[in-house]
Each structure stands twice: as structure tokens, then as C-alpha cells.
Structure 1
């Protein structure tokens, strides 16, 4: 497993659904009905550039007025590859809204805005919970921490990722070069942080070998690397070289629901998850799903589900290079499951239907002769133990002398002793130990 784990705190879907914050940019389009003249300038005195002979819808680039105060629209005709002007009174105007995604987040607890991406940097100001911030960039430092370069009111600085929830981020830092040694092609200035405004210490010459231990991206494409040079930590600006940021699937959240006894777990992502691997492990029983080419846009996630069948689901960044997010589902016993791709990610259905998760389950020695089928009494579900385990594929044996029900599960001998008095009509059974089967007893 890689030593670098991503801890981006970003909340597209923090409450199991997305709350995007987008800016709206109002633009105009003109509907041109032929024949209409397009002129080289905003006025009838300008030459005719071309005459429109078919109906067109064109985006307005700008507006100008002629000497009489009448409005002309500047447009571009793609077929000609030229720009011209059309009179406003001969066209129909449509206003459209362009949605512009804004890199932004919300602070979730009291924290500090700092001058650099580490707690070693000076504090600029304190920030209260629920404060809206604009994200200007991000960094993964040598301490394996994610920090966001942020604007809060008129202040600009760095915020630790685990103190905030991100609403949207256009791209993330390149981590492929981290922990690698590189040879510089040109000389570089050494800075105290990922900015040319930070203190400049020295110059590292070309052909020098340095180790990259961190990475920073200032949107849209300014890159700094945190390096080790002569035993000290510095930052260098990566200019003149090509840095390719791989487009990765953003894993935003996990949620679950009970559908008639089956547990459905939804992995919510920015795009369809096309590449994943699955496996099941034992002692304890877990379904493990690795989501390839993906990044978890949060800290590690964990949600308890129930204590009877599907215990919990967890999600964490398994590795950065390659980028793999691992989903682990802890089960009380082995169940069949089904995985389906969805437009919002992945859906995993654990087929646990048939074992009630709303009642304690009491098991008897030999209810087949007394109570041939499960029954409910006093908010408790009583199930014939022998028939239950045999239906699950584990032949069970009842020791009448010792009052022990036993079976083998994955090579492990399981023995169940019980205690309860159950009456049905004039028949009664008595036992001596706790009848509730727990995870500890089974595994």
C-alpha cells in the first residue's frame, strides 16, 4: 500500500446529496432570419460583410451603438471565421444562462487561515464554522496533509482540508511525482512555500538531483513542488515543464438504505465508475471493492448499518499512484451480493433478505418438532436453529445430552448454547445460556 493517502475534505454530497454552488452568467443570443446583412462595423455606413441566407442562432459577443444611439450586436459567423455586426431591430434576442462552476467550500469547524500549507506557517486570521470560501488551489505537503489555497472575504491563505467541506473543485494536485527523485533541467529558486511571494532562500542549479515530497496546484495551472535539498525542505516553481493532471473520478460520499431486508449501499461519484475490482475475505467476512482511477473527496468515511447482517461500510483512499479508493463492507455472515453501475456511481446490494434485522434472533435446539417455522412473540423472532443453518448451507448437529447445537463454518466449529423458556400451547423448552447469537460467538 502506498504511503501517501489523500485526505481531501470536500463535500459534494455531504448529506447524501449534492449541494452545488454555481455562478450564473447571463448571455444573449440573436436569432437571425434571412435575408439579413452583417456589416463590418456598428452602423449602416459600414460595408456589408455578408448577407445571411439561412436562419441562424448566434451568440452576442458585445454591444455597440451607432451615431443615432441604436444598438448593434457583435457576432461571429463560424462558417466564415469572421466577426461582424447586426442591427438589433432586425433580430430576435434570447437571454440564456450559462452555469459556471465555482471552486468553493464551507468551513465546518473553527480553524485558522495560514500563510502556507502547514501548521508551521503563521496564522492570518481565525475562521468561524459555516464560512463560505473560494478555493484558489490545493497542496499535498510532505506530512501527507491536504491544504486548500483559499480566499475568505479579502484574505487569502491556506486552510487544512479536514476543517472544511468542499462543494466543488475543478481538479486536484498531481501526485505521480511525489517520492521520486528528479534531475532539474534549469536552475530553480528555493522558496519557503508554494508562492513567489514567500521568502526566497537560494538557487538550486540545473542538473541538480532533488527529491519531490509534496505538490501544489494554484488554479488554473501554476505548479509548485515541495522538495528535499541539502537535507532541508523547500518549494520550487515548476515552470517551462509540462505537467499533466490526470482526470480522475471523484468519490463524494456513501449512503445506504434498507429495501425489504436487503441492504443497498450507494457509492456516489462525479462520473460513472467503469473500472473496479471486487473480492470477499474471511475472518472476519468482508466484501472489498476497489475503485480504480478514483480519488476520495473526503476523509475516510465509515457508516454503521446494523448489528444483525451488514455491520458497517467504510471507504478510504487505498493508494494514490495508482489512484484507488477502497470500499469495505463488514458482514455478520456471508451473503450473496450484486454490484451495478449507476449514473451517479456504483450500487452494491447485499442480499440479506430473510433474516430480520429488527428483532433479536433466538435459536432453539430442536424447534422442528415443536415449532416447525419461525414465529414472533413479544417483539422477538424465534427461529428453528437447525433449519436456519441448514437453509444457509451449514448442516447442523444437535447434541441432546450437552444441549449444544454445532456446525462448521469455513473450517471453524461453531457451538451454540442457549437459555430461554418458550411456550407454544402446552409445550415448553428451557435452556441455560444467552440465546442471542453475536458476532463474537460466530467469528
Structure 2
């Protein structure tokens, strides 16, 4: 009997512990501090001129005379931006591009190898402006932005390796205490990392608006809560992505989770440390499971909010104004039994509704509708008056002055939930 009670108590304790754990996990976590990453592509290098070959080897070619002019111009553009640090890759063209801004701000650039250009692999040396090599070097990184991170550039790197090295350098920037750094990097690195990681990507920009030399991209956020694209080469980007973009990001995150988990396990195995292998497997199982739950939750939420936002606002009901007192304009009024009569007239409140279309060059702002509300009622006396002959035109008679009151009207408020 005692053992039976002990078993019940243990089971009860286990249930309580599980419930407490679930409740604690449901509590909102403190958001990490947000930082602003200002990415700047290097100025024109000798690897960018017509007829040059793709050159992603370290340290790579230096700037042309045009590139030096571009570096000076972008320094003037950014000088008043209030930046707290400057970072460069391990390629010489980023050092040369950053030099004018570093001088203007009195800052020493910090080198982070993770910010270097995507390795071209077998496409190294292919013409930069034509040929199959240029197409292959472009298409494979684009596939990474669509969630196919395990696809490698032959003899180069895959999307998981690229993501890991860039994120490692960003982690170093954060660890150094920077909140508004300028990062001088490379065209493919900036474009691909941005579209792989932000919650409001527009992958089509890679085709319609590839970054030129010294183009600037601004991204805000942090590794824990995610990243948001603010502007792309001077083009303001919508902070409210369309439903299609939201569903794409949800599906992509679901695809990426197992690829990242497998990559981390392989890296742990390469280290030869059994503890790291066990930790990588454990973390991978958790991340993949969490990704599935998050996918369902976010997808249902995004669709529901889109439906609610598309519903029309209900029409506002009539709102009665104050009643007015009616009196005959006759010259001689004959007082009689009077009764108070309240007359109410209807007026229609309006709902103001503003919808902004999703536009990459502007924000999408929606203001909830406002409806008129409230109704005031006042009584006004209607007095009987005499006709021109002096006789009473109306009298209460023997009815002892029954009061007649009529009033109609209603008020309602219409509201709209903005998704």
C-alpha cells in the first residue's frame, strides 16, 4: 500500500514538473538587443573591369582609379551616419574602400575573414560579364536563398558553409559591442547572405537590381530574433511582407533546419570530439522538431491575419444628433396643454480606411478605421398656436395633456483589425 502511494506521488510530481516546464517555456523570452548592419560593397577593382575573370582568391585585386573615387564618395555619404566601428574582409579591395571613411571617422578597420567573397570554385577565372561560368556562379548561391543550402559550388563552398562563416564574423562584431557597424564586403556575399536571412526578402532584386560598386544595404535585428531588410541600394523595403513572402519564408525555414542540423553534426564528427557529436545530434533533433511546430504556427497565423485584413469593415450605423425645439412663428400664441416631443434625425458615421499596397520602395502602413459614436438626446416643447382668426388651432381638450414623445436613432462603432 505504501509503495502504491509512493508511486502515485512520484507520478504526480512528474506531471507537475512537466506542466511547470511547459508553462515556463511559454513565457515570452527577453528580446536580444537589435543592431544595424550597414553593408557596403567595395569600389571597382581590377576584377570588375570588362574582360576580367571571376577572382575570389585572397587577397585578390586592388581598386582601380574609378574605385578609389567611389571609395571617397561613399565615405562622404556615410560620414555623418554615427557608426561605431568599421569592418573589412581579408581581401585588399575592401581595405582600400574602407580607408577614406576610416580616416574621416578616426576608426581603425577590423578584419573579419568571414566577410570575404563567395568562393567561385570551378568557375574561378571565368569571364565576369558573359559565359556559363558567370551563370553557374550566380545560380547556385541563388538556390541557397531559396532554401537549398546543401547545394555546393563545385570545388567551392556550399550554402551551409557560407552561412556559418558569415554568421561567425557577425557574432564577433556583436561580441565586440558594436551596435552600428559598417561592413565593407563583396557583392555576392552581401546579396546572398541578406536574402538567405531576412524575414522580408525579395529574391527578385538579385535579378532586377544587383548591387553595383559601393552600393549600400541596411539590415537590422540580431541572430536570435531574426533580421529585417531596411533598404537595398537606396531603395526602402517594405517592413510588412506579403502573405506569399511570409509563406515562402516559413517553408524555407522548415527546409533549412534539417540541412543545418546535418551540417553541424558532420562538423562535430570532423572534430573527433564525442562530446561535440552528442551535443550536435541533440541540438539537431531539437531544432528540427521546433522548426516543424513553428512552421505550422506561423503559417496558420499568417493566413488568418491575411484573411482578417482582407475583410471589409462593417458599415457604421446612424448616429442621432441633438433634437431641436420646434415653435410656431405665429404673432399671438395661445398657451395650451403642452407635451414634450423629442425628434431625432439620423446621421451616418464614416469609417476611415487606409490600405497601403506591399511595395519594395515604400512602407506598408495601415491605420485602423474610426467610426463616430455616441448620441445626445434633448427634449423640446411643441406649443399649440392660434390661427390668424384668433381661434385655437390645436388644444389638448379633455385628454388632460397626455405626453407624446417619439425618438429614433442608434449608434454603432465600426472597427477594423489591421493585419
- TM-score in terms of structure 2 length: 0.24
Which of the pair is proportionally richer in strand? Answer: 1
Bigger-Rg structure (1/2)? 2
Which of the pair is proportionally richer in helix? Answer: 2
Relative contact order higher in (CA < 8 Å, ≥ 6 apart) = 2
